[in-house]
Amino acid sequence: MTDRYAVIGNPIAHSKSPTIQAAFAASTGQDMSYERLLAPLDGFRATVERFAAEGGLGLNVTIPFKLEAFELATETTQRARLAGAVNTLKRIDGGWLADNTDGAGLVRDLMHNHGIVVTGRAVAILGAGGAVRGILKPLLDAGAVSVAVSNRTMAKAEAIAAHFSRYGRVEAVAPDAFGERRHGIVINATSLGMGGAAVDAFPFPGTIFAPGAFAYDLIYSDRPTAFMRWAREHGAAGASDGMGMLIEQAAESFALWRGVRPDTKPVFALLRPGA
């Protein structure tokens, strides 16, 4: 019988995960199906339980269920616990193992696909929402010398800094308090510019970019995002959207489920023909 996997969310119609996972399955010769699962906003657990009863073996979890997936898990990886959020569930005896592959996906895209050196570099993260908790430790593990977390609501940046400073130099910096601080890698984790929305001005100082800096937007879009444009205007040497992170986190999930790491290059060509 074909092994069943799915991505669960609400909304889910536009998810690219089925395209990505089908390509991985084909290229690695794995006999598996991968579908979209729309869960009612108040019916995440019931939908997951039905999927399990039907023999489902694994799920990607997306908006707005990443926290509920954490609560539903019977086992969690360290990176899921640190993130406090889950993007991958794997069926285990009578329950679910929960993982978070977002940070690993980001770091892999930065290092392997863009050739960015993370080791020894100062990183700035703009935003302090759920996504930041998933990417912080992987950036420190990759050798980032420091991480400055800046956010409109400083209490959220401070809570994150307090939580993660045991793993490295993590500091909350108010948007107007960067002073002379420069960063080799600047990551946009705010929702500004999502869905191609116009952004009048990025509420962070354009001086945060060090010479040669790389700007990375967790948002993905077929056109340069508002953050990418702003970064280039302020001297970033390179800029990327988050498509590569999406593909690499999917590869990490696939590896957890199937024990095989797929080659991601053909999937870039599939989703970004001509790029």
Shortest distance (Å) from residue 120 CB to ligand ATR = 26
Give me the phi and psi of 5, to 5 degrees please: -135, 165
Two tokens, residue 121 = 């570099």
User: Whose CA is closest to 136, among 102, 183, 181?
Assistant: 102
Query: Does the footprint of ligand ATR cover residue 130 (CB under 6 A)?
Result: yes
Other CB atoms within a 10 A radius of the CB of residue 12 amount to 18
Query: Does the footprint of ligand ATR cover residue 136 (CB under 6 A)?
Result: no
**66 assigned to active site:** yes
Nearer to ligand ATR, 32 or 172 (CB): 172
Two tokens, residue 140 = 């420190």
x/- binding map, residues 190-229, to ligand ATR, per CB under 6 A?
Answer: xxx----------x--------------------------
Nearer to ligand ATR, 2 or 191 (CB): 191
- How, if at all, do strands 209-217 and 183-188 pair? parallel
| Binding region for ligand ATR (CB under 6 A) out of 10-18, 177-185, 188-196, 240-248 | 188-196
Among 81, 156, 163, 232, binds ligand ATR (CB under 6 A): 156
CB-based contacts of 64, cutoff 8 Å, min separation 6: 9, 10, 41
Active-site choice (66, 90, 137, 156) = 66
- 60 touches 250 (CB < 8 A): yes
Task: Give me the residues that bind ligand ATR (CB under 6 A), please.
Answer: 127-131, 151-153, 156, 189-192, 203
Residues assigned a catalytic role? 66
